Chain A
Amino acid sequence: MTTTTNASPSRWERLRDSYMWYSFKRDRTAQLCLAVFIFMVIAAFAAPLIAPTNPYDLAQIDIMSSELPPFWIDGADDRYALGTDAQGRDLWSIVLYGTRVSLLIGFGAVFLQSLLGVTFGLMAGYLGGRVDTLLMRLADIQLSFSTLMVAIVVGALVKATMGSAFYSQYAVMMLILIIGLAEWPQYARTVRASVLAEKNKEYVDAARVMGLRSKRIMFRHVLPNTLSPIFVISTVQIANAIISEAALSFLGLGMPETHPSLGSLIKSGFDYIQSGSWWITLIPGAVLVVLVLSINLLGDWLRDVMNPRLYKG
């Protein structure tokens, strides 16, 4: 405890002194993963600037140059460094765009999950009693539907009422909605557990004695103290959401081929593995694996750092 110095440290100084920064400086894996992750995010969102072609623009697609191999294999075309897919789209460009779609869905779904999960978890944990029972049973019911079921049901409903053209047009939104709805209980449970632990601490009693309303206590006092587990679970959930999206797309329930994500790219190339054009599937597959792995490893590191029992002892 440093109580001798009077000046209060700035935010930057706090970060520099923190255990998180200390542990990050010593953890090569975390550094590498963060670098890979940041690189992929920047590359994906800068896709229109980096990518040599625009795969959404039908005018730029040349069906004659389909299934060209990547540069290290004989027969490669100089224009297409990573080769082309079955429709003649530049694989490098389409992987960049596909990663962007996957990340967008991942982040969007996690945002929706956390919005629902944190609100419900906070209410269940803090208010307790019937609210708790009701919300947690709801979460149990939700968990007993798999993501796939939700996708099929929502997909069928939307397609039936709005038509499949509408569905493909708003596929990104739909997937965010499906994955967000299907996986909020993870958040709700984590948040509820840490709210239950925080709720019994004396600072919450102090806030009640002060006369604060429940809403303010929940959001101003309890919520900020449950952020660490929310943060940790978020990394895992982003990775999960990206995988869910890939799985749904692979099954044909996700992104259409005209607007491919990593999952639908893998799917579209899957038919050509036997015919020797393995790169159409394997390159987006490798990108997906690297992306998810780096997020998961970052999540592991974050969990170790944020679990106070591990270092405060």
Chain B
Amino acid sequence: MSAPAQTLNVPPTQNEESADSLLQIRDLKKRFSLSGDFLEQLRFKGGKLVRHQEHVHAINGVNLDIKRGEALCVVGESGCGKSTVARTVMGLLTPSEGEIRYDGNRIDNLSSRQLLPYRKRMQMIFQNPYASLNPRMTIQQTLEEPLRLHHPDWKRAQIVDKVEDVMHSVGIDPDWGMRFGHEFSGGQRQRIAIARALAVDPEFIVADEPISALDVSIQAQVLNLLMEAQQARNLTYLFITHDLAVVEHFGTRVAVMYLGTVCEIASTATLFDKPRHPYTQALLSAIPRLKDDRPQHIRLTGEVPTPVNLPSGCVFHGRCPHANTRCKQEIPVLQTQNDGTRVACHAVEEGRL
């Protein structure tokens, strides 16, 4: 950790733009307005009517490349913007700035009709299996719907066959098709949700905390299922989670986010072996491990600042044990280290850490 890493000052956009990137996220920003409609924004200030707007800065300039066949995990604590990234990629939110390219083509500015061909290629799995299935639809209807939409030319028998197929592949009994979601346990519901995503044979799956609402013994089942699907179908994952133990097991590469920015990206093994960013170090030390009795975790001071008024300089400086005046003023950028890790930290750059 203390060895001064050689930094290559290459702008990220040129460095990682390789041909095998399935998804590219460039300078993505997303703000949510807190101020309501136009009338509510008007305020009196010093005798004048002023338009006053407040924003939540959910993501501030995120660059990510997802390579074909990998599982890129995005970790971070609540409010760091990881889910916003996932939802923006899937077109559930429109970015405030920046662009998203899928297979080389921009998808962030497409209409829903233009997006339709991409919807077949990219699918999403949600966190809460109790809310992600329509309570008024049977399992059969839930699974048939995407097929009917994306394969309007298919015959009924073909659709039924495909549904049975995909139910088998996620380990649900096809006889359960006529039942409703609420008749199943959380793990089974999540299997159904995965089946719905896999039904259209996508190549890219965004999984937003897919196992955090499940029990420990069920988490393992679902994680295994996701890994099997990846091998069998050559899937690419964008996996959002707060659980670093899962990342260590599942991810090819990891991006650590804090307050809307990526502070470190590395291959999983490198990150767990040699975390560079002080925040990553604290995060890793906080995992409750079974093996050690009295863990020496790095205690961070203070609280995560609100994303409404972002701190100046490095967003982490208020809680960082290594922060100096430069950290308070200058925003660090991601810089590639000699082992391929990219870290946004002045202390790492200066060799202080």
Q: Which residues does A use to contact B, with CB under 8 Å?
A: 1-3, 6-8, 133, 201-203, 205-213, 221, 224-225, 227
Interface flag for B134 (CB, 8 Å) = yes
- Name B179's contact: one of A8, A133, A221 (CB within 8 Å): A8
Chain B interface, number of residues (Cβ within 8 angstroms)? 39
Contact with A along B161-180 (1 / 0, CB 8 A): 00000000000010111110
Q: How far is the CA of A213 from the CA of B111 in the complex (A)?
A: 11
Residues in A neighbouring B196, C-beta threshold 8 A: 206, 210
Residues in A neighbouring B123, C-beta threshold 8 A: 209-210
| Nearest Cβ on chain B to A11's Cβ, whole angstroms | 11
| Nearest Cβ on chain B to A245's Cβ, whole angstroms | 33
Q: How far is the CA of A123 from the CA of B115 in the complex (A)?
A: 23
Known contacts A206-B124, A206-B193, A206-B196: does B116 contact A3 (CB below 8 Å)?
no
Closest 5 pairs (CB-CB, A-B): A211-B119, A8-B178, A202-B132, A224-B136, A202-B126
Residues in B neighbouring A133, C-beta threshold 8 A: 37
- Name A203's contact: one of B119, B131, B188 (CB within 8 Å): B131
A and B contact pairs by CB, cutoff 8 A, 19 listed: A1-B182, A6-B173, A8-B175, A8-B176, A8-B179, A201-B132, A203-B131, A205-B87, A205-B124, A205-B126, A208-B91, A210-B146, A210-B149, A210-B196, A211-B120, A211-B146, A211-B149, A212-B145, A224-B134
Q: How far is the CA of A167 from the CA of B330 in the complex (A)?
A: 78
Q: How far is the CA of A14 from the CA of B129 in the complex (A)?
A: 22
| Nearest Cβ on chain B to A15's Cβ, whole angstroms | 14
Known contacts A1-B183, A203-B133, A206-B132: does B90 contact A211 (CB below 8 Å)?
no
Contact with A along B132-165 (1 / 0, CB 8 A): 1111110000000110011000000000000000
| Nearest Cβ on chain A to B169's Cβ, whole angstroms | 19
Known contacts A6-B173, A6-B175, A211-B115: does B185 contact A1 (CB below 8 Å)?
yes
Q: How far is the CA of A221 from the CA of B87 in the complex (A)?
A: 20
Q: How far is the CA of A8 from the CA of B115 in the complex (A)?
A: 37
* B66-115 at interface with A (beta carbon < 8 Å): 87, 90-92, 112, 115
| Nearest Cβ on chain B to A205's Cβ, whole angstroms | 6
A209 close to B124 (CB less than 8 A): yes
Q: B179 — nearest CB in chain A belongs to which residue? A: A8
Q: How far is the CA of A202 from the CA of B206 in the complex (A)?
A: 14
Known contacts A2-B183, A3-B188: does B135 contact A211 (CB below 8 Å)?
no
Q: How far is the CA of A208 from the CA of B137 in the complex (A)?
A: 16
A203 close to B183 (CB less than 8 A): no
Number of residue pairs A-B, CB distance < 8 angstroms: 78
Q: B181 — nearest CB in chain A belongs to which residue? A: A203
Q: How far is the CA of A123 from the CA of B135 in the complex (A)?
A: 21
Interface flag for B128 (CB, 8 Å) = yes
Q: How far is the CA of A221 from the CA of B137 in the complex (A)?
A: 8
B183 close to A208 (CB less than 8 A): no
| Nearest Cβ on chain A to B143's Cβ, whole angstroms | 11
Q: How far is the CA of A207 from the CA of B146 in the complex (A)?
A: 8
Interface flag for B267 (CB, 8 Å) = no
| Nearest Cβ on chain A to B240's Cβ, whole angstroms | 13
Known contacts A1-B184, A201-B131, A211-B150: does B136 contact A206 (CB below 8 Å)?
no
Residues in B neighbouring A3, C-beta threshold 8 A: 183-185, 188
Q: How far is the CA of A133 from the CA of B36 in the complex (A)?
A: 12
Interface flag for B335 (CB, 8 Å) = no
Q: How far is the CA of A7 from the CA of B173 in the complex (A)?
A: 11
Q: A9 — nearest CB in chain B belongs to which residue? A: B179
Q: How far is the CA of A208 from the CA of B145 in the complex (A)?
A: 12
Q: A129 — nearest CB in chain B belongs to which residue? A: B37
Interface flag for B127 (CB, 8 Å) = yes
Residues in A neighbouring B91, C-beta threshold 8 A: 208-209
- Name A213's contact: one of B112, B134, B182, B188 (CB within 8 Å): B112
| Nearest Cβ on chain B to A65's Cβ, whole angstroms | 57
A203 close to B134 (CB less than 8 A): yes
Q: B173 — nearest CB in chain A belongs to which residue? A: A6
| Nearest Cβ on chain A to B252's Cβ, whole angstroms | 23
Q: How far is the CA of A268 from the CA of B72 in the complex (A)?
A: 79
A211 close to B112 (CB less than 8 A): yes
Q: How far is the CA of A189 from the CA of B184 in the complex (A)?
A: 33
Known contacts A209-B90, A213-B112: does B131 contact A202 (CB below 8 Å)?
yes
Residues in A neighbouring B112, C-beta threshold 8 A: 211, 213
Known contacts A133-B37, A213-B112: does B134 contact A225 (CB below 8 Å)?
yes
- Name A205's contact: one of B92, B120, B185, B188 (CB within 8 Å): B92
Residues in A neighbouring B185, C-beta threshold 8 A: 1, 3
A208 close to B92 (CB less than 8 A): yes
A221 close to B119 (CB less than 8 A): no
Q: How far is the CA of A210 from the CA of B137 in the complex (A)?
A: 15
Residues in B neighbouring A212, C-beta threshold 8 A: 145, 149
Having A3-B183, A210-B149, one finds 15 other A-B pairs with CB under 8 Å, namely A1-B184, A1-B185, A8-B175, A8-B178, A8-B179, A201-B131, A201-B132, A202-B128, A206-B196, A208-B91, A209-B119, A210-B146, A211-B115, A213-B112, A225-B135
Q: How far is the CA of A202 from the CA of B86 in the complex (A)?
A: 13
| Nearest Cβ on chain B to A121's Cβ, whole angstroms | 18
Residues in A neighbouring B119, C-beta threshold 8 A: 209-211
Residues in A neighbouring B178, C-beta threshold 8 A: 8
| Nearest Cβ on chain A to B125's Cβ, whole angstroms | 9
Known contacts A6-B176, A203-B133: does B127 contact A209 (CB below 8 Å)?
no
Residues in B neighbouring A213, C-beta threshold 8 A: 112
Q: B124 — nearest CB in chain A belongs to which residue? A: A209
Residues in B neighbouring A211, C-beta threshold 8 A: 112, 115-116, 119-120, 146, 149-150
Q: How far is the CA of A209 from the CA of B87 in the complex (A)?
A: 9
